[in-house]
Amino acid sequence: MSKPNSPLRRLRRRPSLAMGVALAALFLSIGGVGYAAVAIPANSISNTMLKNNSVGNVKLRQNAVTYNKIAPGSVGTARIDQKEVQESINGTCTAGNQAITAIAEKGTVTCGATLPAESDSGVGLSTSLTSSTVPTTVATYGLPGGSPYFVQAAPYVTVTPEAGAAAAETVTVSCTLAAGTATTSTQTRSVTLDAAVGGSKVYASIPLTVTEPTSTNSTVAAVTCTQTSTGGTPAVAAQATVYGLQTASNTSAASAS
């Protein structure tokens, strides 16, 4: 049997109320921080509770900031990556024969000479030539005003021998390229073709070139042809396309050699 004041008897004694309150206070003081951390209600942290500059890049979820989170007009040139985004164009080319060839990141432009404009009258139609004195128009083309031009054409002539001809037939075709109005540039060349009796068609082309100076208004370039036949009446036809190429400067109308 234990003695009244022995250690074993003291351990069996229940703790007093004061001891219980003291122990509870001790445990709360030790674990209170962790308890508060897990006990914060959802959606309870407002903007005013966040410390300025407290949220860093590593705390943002990937792709968390989308376009609808950015205020309209809030991202200026100071915030864009100029290697990725180009600023608005802020320059022009004033010379008539220049165009923008490059645009810098800041929007400034670089101007360079443009390639000359080239145009033509399209595929030519075969036109019969019947007169030796009255020129027949084979092709026409309107040249826009405001620029000098280098004008070319190569009428293609076809001679079909007359059926039942008694002798060979000789045909001379003369074609003229004219460009301009008040001051006209012209060039005329001829070709002679021999069609054998009972033979097949014969062909030839006539290269023509003129220069046309600058005109305020549009001008017309045209190809006209005549033909003279001996030994019979073969069928003679011609077709042509008129080409106009802009040039830097033509001071006067002239025929090219």
Per the CB < 8 A criterion, the answer to whether 179 and 210 are in contact is yes
Report yes or no: 155 and 238 within 8 Å, Cβ to Cβ: yes
181 plus 76 within the same structural domain: no
The predicted structure's pLDDT at residue 74: 78
Query: What's the token pair of residue 208?
Result: 């023509």
**Of the ranges 12-26, 29-43, 145-159, 236-250, which one carries the lowest mean pLDDT score?**
29-43
Residue 106: pLDDT band (50, 70, 90) is confident
pLDDT tier for residue 257 given thresholds of 50, 70 and 90:
very low
Cβ neighbours, 10 Å, residue 191: 16
| 57 is a domain residue | no
Reported as half-sphere exposure (CB side, CA atoms, 13 A), residue 135 has a value of 13
* φ, ψ of residue 7 in degrees (nearest 5): -60, -40
The 10s digit of each residue's pLDDT in 209-231 is 998 887 778 889 999 999 999 98
Residue 39: which pLDDT band, with cuts at 50, 70 and 90?
A: low
Q: What is the model's pLDDT at position 254?
A: 54
Q: Answer whether residue 29 shows pLDDT above 80.
A: no
CA 38 to chain centre: 61
Q: Is residue 41 part of a domain?
A: no
99 & 196 share domain = no
pLDDT in tens, 66-95: 878 888 877 777 777 777 777 788 888 877
Closest to 175 measured CA to CA, from 159, 158, 160, 187: 187
128: left (phi over 0), alpha (psi -120 to 50) or beta: beta
The β-bridge relationship of strands 202-205 and 243-246 is unpaired
Q: What φ, ψ does residue 178 adopt, rounded to 5°?
A: -125, 135
Residues 193 and 123 in one domain: yes
- Residues 172 and 75 occupy one common structural domain: no
Alpha-carbon distance of 227 to 34, in angstroms, equals 112
Enumerate the β-bridge partners of residue 202: 159
- How far is it, in rounded angstroms, from Cα 140 to Cα 240? 9
Report the b/e string of 32-41 with b at 16+ CB within 10 A.
eeeeeeeeee
For residue range 159-178, what is the model confidence (pLDDT) as tens digits?
998 887 777 889 999 999 99
What whole-number percentage of the chain has pLDDT above 70? 79
Domain end, chosen from 81, 114, 147, is at: 114
E-only strand ranges, the chain: 98-103, 109-113, 118-120, 127-128, 136-143, 149-153, 156-160, 169-179, 185-195, 202-205, 208-212, 219-230, 235-239, 243-246, 254-255
Say which CATH number the domain at 174 has.
2.60.120
| Residue where one domain finishes, among candidates 114, 148, 176 | 114
Q: Are 128 and 102 contained in the same domain?
A: no
Q: What range defines the domain where residue 177 resides?
A: 118-255
- How confident is the model at residue 164, as a pLDDT? 75
More confidently predicted of 119 and 136? 136
Note whether residue 16 is domain-resident: no
As to burial, measured by CB atoms within 10 angstroms (0-12 exposed, 13-18 middle, 19+ buried), residue 154 is middle
